[in-house]
Chains A and B, each alone.
Chain A
Amino acid sequence: GAVVSQHPSRVICKSGTSVKIECRSLDFQATTMFWYRQFPKQSLMLMATSNEGSKATYEQGVEKDKFLINHASLTLSTLTVTSAHPEDSSFYICSAPAGAATEAFFGQGTRLTVV
């Protein structure tokens, strides 16, 4: 299957700083990428859908100014957590659908810890 690479896998940052998470499709072009947040022992909650060359679509309740998403190319989407707080600590996963939304490929996830 296609490969989606997410980096970093783990990051620890101080409160008030910003953290950028990258999601790359390595062997296919992804015009759309999904960003999910997963709390321990819970499901994947869709935060936003990024679209290459246009603004991301955020789910209700997700702060656009806090979770900045950029999809500048067909192989790269980034999620920046701005002014991070301890409550932003979580596991973040990206995925990219392939074809006409027939399958999605997932990154390895990023464990963010804000201290």
Chain B
Amino acid sequence: AQTVTQSQPEMSVQEAETVTLSCTYDTSENNYYLFWYKQPPSRQMILVIRQEAYKQQNATENRFSVNFQKAAKSFSLKISDSQLGDTAMYFCAFMKPPPDMRFGAGTRLTVKP
């Protein structure tokens, strides 16, 4: 079975600074997808960024980017120019076909003014 590990239960960052959230995973699959989801207090899951395992290029979405190291099975999220609205729980997730999706334990990020 696939496992996803987030080793940082809580992190904080000053507004406008950069923060990196870590995620490692374990799988024997070659075809899979990795995600970072944000869960604000409303508890609605919001997709932040997605990475296809077959792509070497790291995904980016505005202030959010990933460092995907397939051989090391590492998938970290970098948030640049942090904003107060970025305060939330962040979950790393792994999905493979046939549909099977697993989540890490989560990292609670607080952006301080």
Hey, which bits of chain A sit against chain B, CB under 8 A? Answer: 1, 32, 34, 36, 38, 41-44, 46, 49, 91, 93, 95, 97, 100-104, 106, 108-109
Contact = CB atoms under 8 A, between A and B. Distances in A.
Contacts of A97: 95, 99, 101
30 contacts: A1-B47, A32-B98, A34-B101, A36-B103, A41-B108, A42-B105, A42-B106, A43-B103, A44-B91, A46-B101, A49-B100, A93-B43, A93-B45, A97-B95, A97-B99, A100-B97, A101-B95, A101-B100, A102-B33, A102-B52, A102-B95, A103-B35, A103-B47, A103-B50, A103-B95, A104-B35, A104-B93, A104-B95, A108-B43, A109-B44
Contacts of A1: 47
Contacts of A93: 43, 45
* Chain B interface helix/strand/loop/mixed: strand
Classify chain B's interface size.
20 to 34
Given A103-B33, A106-B44, A43 B91 contact: yes
Interface of B: 33, 35, 43-45, 47, 50, 52, 91, 93, 95-106, 108
